[in-house]
């Protein structure tokens, strides 16, 4: 199954198929809809500045897209939708923003020490050059089983593999030099000033009434 099809099945509400574009589009949507509106709301601006991708960062799927693919093998559209809804109780899937995190490229890398290398070693991510093991093997075997069993295996992946990978990512980020960089919060200060000016104008109008 192609990545585009996998995204459509696992996150049908997200139109963007590339992970970075999907994250950016949804982040804009939840922080005012566009730059001009966000500039008038310091809360939205803070969220945007913290979550946006920075130079050298790449969007990573917490629940790995291609690893979950086999669970959907041979399902009808209705069954696939039911499986996705079930999995989303435990963690978002596909290109949903809650399943995406921006990571420095060296953390996202498949090389030694990166999240994908760790996931493959632990049997959390399918790799064509590795013998399937652990939860990856369970998912492959479940691809020939009834929907109820696929849900069970998917739940195991979402509640065991995904939290373990999140913990590993957190450890990598804690030790990463980028965490010591100072964020440019000038846009937040500008939004705060705009809010203050708007409040002054509102107060002035109230006094005139």
How do residues 39-57 score in pLDDT, each as one tens digit? Answer: 989 999 999 999 999 999 9
pLDDT at 209: 67
User: What CA–CA distance (Å, rounded) separates 170 from 27?
Assistant: 21
Residue 23's nearest CA partner among 51, 63, 62, 55 is 51
- Rounded percentage of the chain residues whose pLDDT exceeds 70: 99
pLDDT band at 2 (very low <50, low <70, confident <90, very high): confident
CA atoms within 13 A on the CB side of 160: 14
3-class secondary-structure state, position 59: strand
- Rounded percentage of the chain residues whose pLDDT exceeds 90: 74
How do residues 131-145 score in pLDDT, each as one tens digit? Answer: 999 999 999 999 999
Residue 117's nearest CA partner among 168, 66, 173, 189 is 168
User: What is the number of structural domains in the chain?
Assistant: 1
pLDDT at 185: 85
Q: Give Cβ neighbours of residue 115 (< 8 Å, ≥ 6 apart).
A: 60, 103, 107, 108, 165, 168, 169, 172
Q: What is the mean pLDDT of residues 155-184?
A: 94
**Segments forming the whole domain that contains residue 31:** 3-208
Mean pLDDT of the chain: 92
Q: Give Cβ neighbours of residue 129 (< 8 Å, ≥ 6 apart).
A: none
Q: Is there a contact between 11 and 94 (Cβ–Cβ < 8 Å)?
A: yes
pLDDT at 48: 95
pLDDT at 173: 95
In the 8-state DSSP scheme, what is residue 97? G
């Amino acid at each position: 199954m192609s990545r585009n099809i996998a995204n459509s099945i696992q996150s049908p509400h997200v139109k963007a198929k590339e992970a970075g574009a999907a994250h950016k589009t949804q982040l804009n949507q939840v922080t005012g809809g566009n730059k001009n509106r966000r500039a008038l709301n310091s809360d939205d601006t803070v969220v945007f500045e913290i979550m946006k991708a920075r130079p050298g960062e790449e969007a990573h799927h917490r629940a790995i897209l291609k690893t979950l693919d086999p669970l959907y093998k041979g399902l009808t559209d209705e069954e696939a939708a039911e499986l996705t809804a079930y999995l989303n109780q435990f963690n978002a899937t596909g290109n949903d923003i809650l399943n995406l995190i921006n990571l420095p490229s060296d953390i996202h890398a498949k090389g030694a020490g990166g999240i994908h290398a760790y996931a493959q070693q632990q049997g959390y991510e399918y790799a064509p050059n590795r013998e399937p093991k652990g939860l990856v093997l369970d998912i492959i075997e479940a691809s020939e089983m009834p929907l109820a069993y696929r849900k069970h295996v998917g739940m195991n992946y979402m509640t065991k593999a995904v939290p373990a990978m999140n913990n590993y990512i957190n450890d990598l980020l804690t030790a990463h030099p980028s965490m010591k960089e100072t964020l440019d919060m000038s846009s937040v200060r500008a939004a705060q000033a705009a809010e203050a000016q708007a409040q002054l104008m509102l107060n002035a109008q109230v006094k005139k009434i």
